[in-house]
Chain A
Amino acid sequence: MWIYEKKLQYPVRVSTCNPTLAKYLVEQYGGADGELSAALRYLNQRYSIPDKVIGLLTDIGTEEFAHLEMIATMIYKLTKDATPEMMKAAGLGDHYAIHDNALYYENSSGVPWTATYIQAKGDPIADLYEDIAAEEKARATYQWIINLSDDPDLNDGLRFLREREIIHSQRFMEAVEILKEEQGKKKFF
């Protein structure tokens, strides 16, 4: 069960109406290494992982939904008043033809989200290594979006999200150490 708090994890400020930026940001919404993939990957892997790390997957999977909500807010603000002409100029003409200005789970090239982006191997080490890789890939994606963006307010929010990827990667690496059961034994191989 979840309890919903009706506010964003970090304030989302957008200074310009810029649908092109929304097109890039959608990568973190419905892309392979986006927040939706992350949330569903972790919350699904929980069931078949040793109980010592279930709580971590629950916590991080839940936080990913908070990030998804921030990304959604950014995309919404960047496109909500964009005219069809502006959408077309931003390369979102085909998106507009299908969805108007609605959000959709797709990547920045318009490819719909698919469950093949995530995996559950049932092997705890394989799953956690996938999670670590996913966090590093999401961190890199945030860097490239910051490089593409000229909106300082938006970049402030993206910087926060990138920092969270670093922390999540750290915690997943600690989870691997816990499962290796050699943590703190001061044993040298």
Chain B
Amino acid sequence: MFTLYKTWHPIASPFDPCKPILEKTFSTPPNLYIGFQPPNLPQFSPQEALRAGTLWKAFYDPYFNPFELAKGGNPR
């Protein structure tokens, strides 16, 4: 399944002083995949676009604090 966030698993030693983070996530935003923008991509309405920060739905990739999301925080 395609996702804009990728994960990897750092090595955890039994002697690590801090509680090991078993899975790390990083962002791979849509601009890495699209190349030169093709014509006629779907657009947001002008009002939506002003809030989203882009006119193009394909480039919209909002970021939320993953630590808050893990605690059940609610992205607005």
Contacts and interface: CB of A to CB of B under 8 A. Distances in A.
A163 B65 contact: no
Interface in B10-60: 27, 29-31, 34-37, 50-54, 59-60
Please classify the interface of chain B as helix (H, G, I), strand (E, B), loop, or mixed, using the class held by over half of its residues: loop
Interface residues of B, number: 24
A174 B59 contact: no
A170 B31 contact: yes
Contact of A170 (B37, B66, B68, B76): B37
Interface in A134-150: 139-140, 142-143, 146-147, 149-150
Interface string A160-189: 111110110110011001000001100000
Interface residues of A, number: 27
A179 B72 CA distance: 46
Given A146-B64, A155-B65, A163 B76 contact: no
B53 A160 contact: yes
Given A10-B53, A156-B76, A160-B53, A167 B31 contact: yes
Interface of A: 10, 139-140, 142-143, 146-147, 149-150, 152, 155-156, 159-164, 166-167, 169-170, 173-174, 177, 183-184
